[in-house]
Amino acid sequence: MALIASGDLSHRLKRGAPAGYKPTAHQFDAQVVGALRNNDSERIINIDQDVRRLAGECGYRSMLVVLGATRELPAAAEVLHYEAPFGVGYLVAQLTRSAVPSYVNSEKGSVLSEPESGTADEDDLTDALPLLARQAVETFVRTGKPLSVPPASGALSTPAACFVSIKTLTGELRGCIGTIAPTKQTLAEEVVLNAANAASRDPRFEPVTADELASLRYSVDILGKPEPATMEDLDPATYGVIVEGESSGLRGLLLPDIEGVDTAGRQVEIAARKAGIRSGEPIKLFRFVVQRFREKKP
């Protein structure tokens, strides 16, 4: 038996959106998607109601019903797809891969029978992704060979674009490379590839040496699907940006929440320069959200 909850996320993500535009509307979608990717549905239940109201959503109550109906089952949340092409957030996700109990009270949304035994919880991406990046870099630096990708499950077994950032203990960038679209069959493979490249092929830095490994920290950003944007749609604290030259086809990307990048103009300028787009060339803009997983400090 399957239980489906239907509804939209924010209706106010772009100018011209059905319910008007609110610059902070994206926060609702980002928090819901982030909660599911972290397998933490309680964050949805306890979401700030002001954030919810400003988003103009219509799916929150449906989410509460399905969260209540599956609360006794093993949590195994997985985001299958998210996009916002018309200023409305569309999310496809599953909360569990276990069977929904046979008897569900449709009026109250409550479980009336004992849950069946199910699968184990998803890997904790908060720990798993930075650890995988560390293992990939240390293996490559010490042996010159890529890490053999371990068997993956859950979100790690699905394709996703990502960036791997390497920093020193003092916070200085040591390497950062990623992919705008998935190039591998799984996120685990994507992380291993990008981690090794960040340590060895970032043209801004010399390759990482074995002597440095103990003093490095890692973070992994999973990229959401890019959507067309205007300058007014950008917010460098929340959205990453992709700048594409209309005639050259060159593309440059800049992640969100970067120190010193506090305006959309500055964000676009840096991304265009990284791509080698000449000054004055007409450009197309795309924005995207990320889920950032940082290695915990010792």
Structure tokens at 243: 């700048």
pLDDT of 89: 83
Structure tokens at 76: 């195994």
pLDDT of 2: 66
Structure tokens at 143: 């042996």
pLDDT digits over 28-83, tens only?
Answer: 888 887 777 666 777 888 888 888 888 888 888 888 877 777 766 666 676 767 77
Q: What is the CA angle 226-174-181, rounded to 5?
A: 20
- Tokens 């219509």 correspond to 58
Dist CA 39 CA 13 (whole Å)? 24
pLDDT of 153: 82
Q: What is the CA angle 262-264-269, rounded to 5?
A: 100
Contacts of 243 (CB under 8 A, 6+ apart): 251, 252, 253, 268, 271, 272, 275, 277, 283, 284, 285
Nearest to 32 by CA among 73, 72, 96, 91: 91
User: Is a pLDDT exceeding 90 seen at residue 212?
Assistant: yes
> Residue 207 — pLDDT band, cuts 50, 70, 90?
very high
Q: Looking at the whole model, is its pTM more than 0.85?
A: no
pLDDT digits over 251-273, tens only?
Answer: 999 999 998 999 999 999 999 99
User: Is a pLDDT exceeding 90 seen at residue 96?
Assistant: no
Mean pLDDT in residue range 226-238 = 94
pLDDT of 124: 61
pLDDT of 208: 97
Count Cβ atoms within 10 A of the Cβ of residue 153 and give its class: 0-12 exposed, 13-18 middle, 19 or more buried. Answer: middle
Dist CA 293 CA 119 (whole Å)? 24
Least confident of 51-55, 85-89, 285-289: 85-89
Q: How many CB atoms lie within 10 A of CB 213?
A: 14
First-residue to last-residue Cα distance in the chain: 44
Across 22-41, b (16+ Cβ under 10 Å) vs e yields: beebbbbbbbbbbbbbbbeb
Dist CA 189 CA 187 (whole Å)? 5
> Residue 172 — pLDDT band, cuts 50, 70, 90?
very high
> Residue 182 — pLDDT band, cuts 50, 70, 90?
very high
Domains of the chain: 26-111 (no CATH), 125-223 (3.30.700.20), 227-290 (3.30.1490.150)
- Mean of the per-residue pLDDT values of the chain: 83
pLDDT digits over 101-137, tens only?
Answer: 433 333 333 232 232 322 223 346 788 999 999 999 9
> Residue 246 — pLDDT band, cuts 50, 70, 90?
very high
pLDDT of 281: 95
Helices and strands, number each (H, E), in the chain: 7, 12
Sheet strands (E) in the chain:
78-83, 90-94, 104-105, 110-111, 162-168, 173-178, 216-223, 227-229, 240-245, 251-254, 283-288, 290-294
Instruction: Considering only residues 143 and 59, tell me which one the structure prediction assigns the higher pLDDT.
Output: 143
